[in-house]
Amino acid sequence: MKKFRGIFLKNDYEIGLLREANRIVALILQKLGEHLKPGIKTIELEELAIDLCHKYRVKPAFKGYHGYPYALCCSVNEQIVHSFPSQRRLEEGDIISIDMGVIYQGFYGDSALTFPVGQISHEASRLLRVTEESLYRGIAEAKVGNDLYDISRAIQTYVEEIGYHVIKRFVGHGIGTKLHEKPEVPNFVPKRALRLPLKKGMVLAIEPMVAVGNDQVEVLSDKWTAITRDKSLSAHFEHTIAITKQGPLILSKP
């Protein structure tokens, strides 16, 4: 694969495979969303996700990744990311971020979204809208000639204008034949940001995590579950996109 500053540039064939991997992730997330209702246990979502991986003949990408034990991350309310599916029953008013990855013919798909469970508060639904919008504002900057941090800036500026906070501990990433490739895609502009021009063929997982309270994170004793230190609500939306001559192409769409 061609490289630019250590970043793999994918050709059209490889982008086709990444499109298929990510399309399957999007389909699975859509089906999980249809099953969400108050009373369901998050482990039931995990079981459904595993069944769907068999159906689509893909491998779950997270299970076994650095020892992560499940196919899904199911992060509820103040949980930000990397939360284990469990016997916990979802309740009316909860929000749940479901993050899912698969491997299809050696190529990775990765996407996440936050769903409302039944009726949710105005604050919660605003958080979902703002986080998703910040993702789309970031994606809009993912074009040839722009800088990597134009994506980061678009996300951060929008979120902070609203008065919410981007989580800085976790970042987006390049993706291809590995789940995490160069470059890191922060949801904020780093202090000593080097310029990195975006090139055709870069494939990025852009994934803003946004909290209502502040950006302080705590990782629980299971070594994975990340929560907001102040227990305020947090949301997470992630798409895998390819940078093409015609602009950003969202791969993680059904």
Residues near ligand MF3 (CB under 6 A): 62, 65, 68, 73, 82, 99, 110, 112, 173, 205, 207, 238
Stretch near Co ion under the rule CB under 5 A, chosen from 57-65, 133-141, 197-205, 210-218:
197-205
Whose CA is closest to 10, among 177, 208, 214? 177
Residue 215 interacts with which of ligand MF3, Co ion, none, CB < 5 to 8 Å by class: none
**Residue 89: count of CB within 10 angstroms of its CB:** 13
Q: How far is the CB of 206 from Co ion (least distance, A)?
A: 9
What is the three-state SS of the chain? CEEECCEEECCHHHHHHHHHHHHHHHHHHHHHHHHCCCCCEHHHHHHHHHHHHHHCCCEECCCCHHHCCCCEEEEECCEEECCCCCCCECCCCCEEEEEEEEEECCEEEEEEEEEECCCCCHHHHHHHHHHHHHHHHHHHCCCCCCEHHHHHHHHHHHHHHHCCEECCCCCEEECCCCCCEEEEECCCCCCCCCCCECCCCCEEEECCEEECCCCCEEECCCCCCEEECCCCCEEECEEEEEEECCEEEECCCC
**Position 18 contacts Co ion (CB under 5 A):** no
Q: Tell me: does residue 205 bind Co ion (CB under 5 A).
A: yes
- We find the least distance from the C-beta atom of residue 39 to Co ion, in angstroms, to be 29
- C-alpha span between 95 and 234 (Å, rounded): 9
Contact range with Co ion by CB under 5 A, out of 44-52, 186-194, 198-206, 208-216: 198-206
Q: Which residue, 144 or 218, has its beta carbon nearer to ligand MF3? A: 218
Q: Which does 20 bind (CB under 5 to 8 A by kind): ligand MF3, Co ion, none?
A: none
Residue 104 interacts, among ligand MF3, Co ion, none and using kind-specific CB cut-offs from 5 to 8 Å, with none
Choose among Co ion, ligand MF3, none what residue 65 binds, the Cβ cut-off being 5 to 8 Å by kind: ligand MF3
> Does 45 participate in binding Co ion (rule CB under 5 A)?
no
CB of 173 to ligand MF3, least distance (A): 6
In whole angstroms, how close is the CB of 100 to ligand MF3 at the nearest point?
8
Residue 25 CB, nearest approach to ligand MF3 (Å): 10
R_g of the chain computed on alpha carbons: 17
Cβ closest to ligand MF3, residue 68 vs residue 149: 68
Q: Which is nearer to Co ion, 110 or 181 (CB)?
A: 110
What's the closest the beta carbon of residue 52 comes to Co ion, in angstroms? 19
List the beta bridge partners of residue 13: none
| Contact flag: residue 110 with Co ion (CB under 5 A) | yes
Contacting positions for Co ion (CB under 5 A): 110, 205
